Amino acid sequence: MNAQNSAAFMPDEDLMNTILCDLKRTVREYATAATESACPAVRRVFNDMTMNTLRLQGDLYTHMSELNMYPAPGKALRQDVDKQLQTAQQMQQKTGQFVQQKTGQAGSFAHNANAHLQSNGQHQSSHLM
């Protein structure tokens, strides 16, 4: 038997890093699929797959961290976390207001369009007589 054949395909650390990167990518893809799903059953399946993949990713990270294969991230300053949270909350509020404003306008647009179509229908029917 050839000694190269019995050797590992690649070092464990490299293999685990590759798997970890693939799990991160897969989570993004599942999250996108869940977001884009119109069917509640399909959305639920992708949400479940996302959560299962996140669990796997977390387990692999923990295992790698215990083996000193993945350095722990630096500690975040509380004020930096608070600032990021505040920025995210402001963006969420602005987005909510924007959506509310646009859906309100869309509703009035749809109403105006229907009124326009109805008046055109009456106008066209008078030409047909």
Give 68-83 pLDDT, tens digit per residue: 998 777 888 889 899 9
Q: Last residue of some domain: 44, 74, 104?
A: 74
Contacts by residues 21-28 (CB-CB < 8 Å, ≥ 24 positions apart): 23/53, 23/56, 23/57, 23/60, 24/57, 26/53, 27/53, 27/54, 27/57
Would you call 39 helix, strand, or coil by DSSP?
coil
pLDDT at 109: 53
Query: What total number of domains does the chain contain?
Result: 2
Structure tokens at 48: 């479940």
- CA dihedral of 99, 105, 110, 116, whole degrees rounded to 10: -160
For residue 5, what are the domain limits? 1-74
pLDDT at 108: 54
CB 63 within 8 A of CB 23: no
Structure tokens at 116: 């326009």
CA dihedral (94, 95, 98, 99) positive or negative: negative
Instruction: Show pLDDT as tens, one digit a residue, over the chain (129 residues).
Output: 444 444 677 889 999 999 999 999 999 999 999 999 999 999 999 999 999 999 999 999 999 999 999 877 788 888 989 999 999 999 999 999 988 888 886 555 555 555 544 554 444 444 433
Are residues 11 and 54 part of one domain?
Answer: yes
pLDDT at 27: 97
